Amino acid sequence: MALLHIVVDGYNFLHASRDTDWDFTALSLEEAREAIVAFLAVHRGALREKVTVVFDGTRSVVYGAKSENTRGVEVIFSEPGETADEVICRMVAGSPNPRAFLVVTADRAIRNAVQASGARIIGPRNFLLSSQEDHERRRKRREAEPREKYEGTTPGQVEKWREILGFDKDPDE
């Protein structure tokens, strides 16, 4: 099965985060972009999918190039005279496999264009909520498992098991 390519309409995602656990709207624009990339990196890490976020406008202080890979998330800024919407639609339409795309946006024009190409869409609030649910499930799963699974056994536990299993006994005894 082909790897899913998640493409996020950056500022649409930012504004849709209002009143969620991840409300990026209270941050400065630069901080919000960084927080969105961090959020997407965590989501990408859990799913191992390709993730791209597209922002309108010119480069920022943090992201100096037109396109940059940060924490496994590709960050793209539209060129002057071009919108993020156009970049997203062009990415999907120009792909040999548009069905491999999941576009995260609430923008009706983008939704219509990418769906016509065969891509799937999800609204940013639904994406945020499903990501929150996935994160919560993973956290609960980790809590249910023994600490030793992640931290290893203590030296005292190793010695006790060596004794129980007879590893330190002389085989001739």
Q: Encode pLDDT of 15-46 as tens digits.
A: 999 888 788 998 998 899 999 999 898 876 66
**Are residues 8 and 51 in contact, defined by beta-carbon separation less than 8 angstroms?**
yes
Instruction: Tell me which residue of 3, 11, 10 sits closest to 95, measured CA to CA.
Output: 3
Domain ranges of the chain: 5-144
Q: Which option is the CATH number for 5-144: 2.40.50, 1.10.287, 3.40.1130, 3.40.50?
A: 3.40.50
Structure letter (DSSP) for residue 17: T
pLDDT tens by residue, 51-62? 999 999 866 545
Q: How far apart are the first and last CA of the chain?
A: 58
Q: What is the pLDDT of residue 66?
A: 54
Give this prediction's pTM.
Answer: 0.73
**Are residues 4 and 100 in contact, defined by beta-carbon separation less than 8 angstroms?**
yes
Dihedrals phi, psi of 68, to nearest 5 degrees = -145, 145
